[in-house]
Structure formats: C-alpha cells, structure tokens
Chain A
C-alpha cells in the first residue's frame, strides 16, 4: 500500500536536513545565494526576524507570490512560517507546495491557548521550544521536527544556548530515572507521558532538533552543533550582515566541520561585520519573542 504524509515520511525529511543550515530568505535573489552557499533548505519570508522586530505591528504568513517565486527558483526544500495556532495559514502553505511549515513565534500568534493540530496535515511541521516539556508538547501535537526558539532577530546566541542546554540537560535527567519516577516527571514537564517514557528509554528526542534564534557567525553555528544540535537555522544573521554570500558559505562549512577549530578559524576570516546584534537584557520582556 502506498501512503503519503506518514510520520516516517515527515520526520524523514528532517533527518535528511541534518548537519545542514536552513537560511531565511525574503526574495528570489537571496534564495539563490542561499542555495549556492550550500543551504539544505530555505525559509521563505516577507521580512527577516530583525525587520519584523523593528517594524512592530502584526506579522503574518508571507504573500503566496513571494513563496511561489522562491519555490520555483531553488531545488532545495522550501519552508515557510505560519502563525502559532493559525491552521488556515498552514493550509494555504500546504496548498502552495511548501515542503515544511514552521509554526513560528516569530510571527504574531493567532491563538494564545492552542497550537495547530499538526496530525491533520500531510505537510510536516517544525516548531520552536525553550525546554523539553515544550518540545514534547509540540511533538504530541504532530510536529516532525523541533528547533530551539532562542531569541530571533537579535544576532545574540545566548538564548539559543540556554534552550539547547535546557533540552539536552532535561533529556539526561530523564535518562537516569527509574520507571516509577517518570509519571511525576511528565507532570512536571507538562508533557505527554508516552513521549516522556520514550525519551527516558532512548536518551534522545524522537525527532530531529535544530538550533535557531540569534545565530550570526560560523562559531555560533559550531557552538550549537557541539552542544548537540542536529543542524542550524540562521535567520537575520546572514542577510543582515556585510557580506551575505561569504557568511552563508562559511556558516555551512562550520556546521559540517564543527569539531575542527583550525577549519573554523579559516572560514571565520574576512567575512565583514556580522549583524549588529541586541543585548537581551535591554529588550523589554513583553517584546521577547520566545515567550509566545
């Protein structure tokens, strides 16, 4: 029997993206630069997170024309963002032939209580998480891939580090638990018990976990890989820097050879200035994206 949209097919695409860099792009030219640099996928957007942050107002799904144009010019997978809980935006993205939907806190949430029922779709979803409980709730809703939230549009990796350490640390803690401790752990994590038990048994998330939210340099990408990320998303960090093609290529190489400091030194040379970056403590708490 032939089946489409199975969990294996959805998580399988994320497995194929491992060790790679997914880049935010806002037009055809940027998409070509990303593909040429060796991106494993592009995230099609109207504005990168730094500009969304600066513009304020309500951020919504991108214009279908932008997405369609990008789908046409690249052969690598194309992802696009829908608002949290906005299942109609997700339906539109699925109809456009997008390869992955990012139910993303970078856009203004459409539902402050519920996320999208991702099992109802053939297209796979990636969702952000700050900790293991959040990751497992999203997986319980059908997410086929997780990314740390970090703090998008800041060029500051500190929150991505915090979230990756939270997730891997909580996984290690579960791995050391007795079976009779797992129900309480599930209660504390506010996560589905079956998934908590699976993580405790395997010592790993059941889906691929990328890092996102504030990565701006090759060293940032390698740092997240050494901390256990399966791959990285770079949003504003590339096209808000001085020399996007060179930086994009350098980040791809750093993600592949994240354990080779000599090579990291080599690829970090002469990239021009990275994006300016924001200190997290200077951002008012209500403007932080990660708590959405």
Chain B
C-alpha cells in the first residue's frame, strides 16, 4: 500500500519511518498531483497555521477534498487533526480541509511547558496502554453523529475515526509503537496489505475488527 505524507512542514520523516516499519511504501507529497498515486494521506504534526497557509498557496485544499471524495483515506496528527476538522473553536481564519465532522480546539492542553506524555487506553489497539505524546496539543471539542470516539483523556476526545478518516491529538510517530499506524493502514484505509511484514499485527489491531463501524462510503456521504 502506498501512503503519502504531506511534506510541506512538520515531522514528515517520523511518519515515513513508521510507514516503512509497517511495510507500507511512503511518498513525501509536495505537489497536489502526487495525490493521484497514493491510497492514503497522513497530515503530520507541525504548525497548523503554517501548513494551512501552504496548502492554500499550492492548491491542496480542493485537491485533497476531491481525492478524499474518491476514496483516499486521511490521517491527521495534532496539526493534521486541526486541518481535517470541520471547524475550530476559535476563529483564526486559517484554511481548513473540513473533511471530518469534528470541532477542534487548538493548543487545548496548553503551551509547551504543559506538553506531556501519558499512557492512554485505546481499546481498538488492544488492551495494552499506548504512550501518547502531546505537544501543544489540540483536543476534539465535539463530534458529529458519524464520528466514533476511540480514546479520551480527562473526558476530552483525543482520538477519533469517521469512515476512512482518522485523527489523533497525540504523536504516535514520536514513539516506537506502530499500532496506530497499523490501525490506519489495516482498518481505516481499508486494505490488508503486507501482512507478512507486520508479524505482530495479530495481537493488537486486528482484534478491533470485531467491533462494527461505519463503512467508508456511508461516512463520506454523511458529509456535506
């Protein structure tokens, strides 16, 4: 499976490293026409205002919306979560992709001195805790009816899924734990490629298939 990492600004390399470890091919996406050649797109951590301005300058807003409309899965981490959101709590005028029916609150957990790491409970990843790294992190203030909450912290939604869209407020790419990326590749993007190179996939991600979830097409049609 070939997955793009939006490479305008942010921690692109860390996502590419994770994808490689999962046996997926990664492409650093710098131009909109590259979206044709990927089945999924990761919008990395970075500064959401900066990435927002750059996606607007280079015609990515319509291109990503259009390509997502034709089935491309999208995963946003931190800044990426903000960019795929329908809106943010504070009006900043920054361009948003508006793919996912969530409202994001920027820097919700505070400034850098409040940045933290903590063990999270993420049932879809299996019983073991997931080390969440939160850096000036947002949270999801509210979710639409088709959005499935996958993890919370202190009552705040920090991981959610809507069809073939995935969002995390934290940075799995800064850890050595591949389970979120495998979940994106295997479940959210909807293909089960390269299983032979991911031997430990049985333990965590695949157990989540027992839970019913909306199909990608159903979720997409619910978005205006």
Contact = CB atoms under 8 A, between A and B. Distances in A.
B57 interface: yes
Contacts of B115: 4, 9, 12-13
A10 B30 CA distance: 27
Given A13-B135, A99-B136, A76 B47 contact: yes
B204 interface: no
Contacts of B79: 16
B61 interface: no
Contacts of A100: 112
Nearest to A11: B174
Contact of B54 (A99, A256, A260): A256
Q: Is the interface of A mostly helix, strand, loop or mixed?
A: loop
B114 A4 contact: yes
Contact of B113 (A2, A5, A38, A39): A5
The bracket for how many chain B residues form the interface is 35 or more
B107 interface: yes
A143 to B, nearest CB: 15
A257 B12 CA distance: 14
Contacts of B30: 256-257, 260
B12 A77 contact: no
A266 B36 CA distance: 26
A268 to B, nearest CB: 15
Interface stretch (A17-25, A194-202, A281-289): A17-25
A124 B50 CA distance: 21
Contacts of B47: 16-17, 20, 40-41, 76-77
Interface string B8-39: 11111110000000000000001000000000
A122 B11 CA distance: 22
B179 interface: no
Interface in A40-64: 40-41
B76 interface: no
Interface string A208-243: 000000000000000000000000000000000000
A16 B113 contact: no
Contacts of A2: 116-118
Given A4-B113, A253-B57, A16 B118 contact: no
Interface in A164-190: none
Interface residues of A, number: 38
B64 interface: no
A75 interface: yes
Nearest to A2: B118
Contacts of A39: 50
Interface in B87-121: 90, 92, 106-107, 111-119
Interface string B46-59: 11011001100100
Nearest to A40: B47
A123 interface: yes
A198 B134 CA distance: 26
B146 to A, nearest CB: 29
Contact of B135 (A3, A12, A40, A94): A12
Contacts of B9: 18-20, 40, 256
Given A3-B117, A16-B11, A252 B111 contact: no
A99 B14 CA distance: 22
B14 A15 contact: yes
Contacts of A15: 11, 14, 45, 174
A35 B49 contact: yes
B117 A19 contact: no
Nearest to A3: B117
Contact of B49 (A3, A4, A38, A122): A38
A229 to B, nearest CB: 14
Give the 7 A-B CB pairs with smallest separation, nearest first. A99-B112, A2-B118, A19-B9, A40-B47, A15-B11, A38-B53, A9-B115
Given A20-B50, A76-B47, A99-B113, 19 more contacts: A1-B118, A2-B116, A2-B118, A3-B118, A4-B115, A8-B174, A12-B115, A13-B112, A15-B11, A15-B14, A16-B10, A19-B8, A20-B10, A77-B47, A99-B111, A99-B112, A252-B54, A256-B30, A260-B30
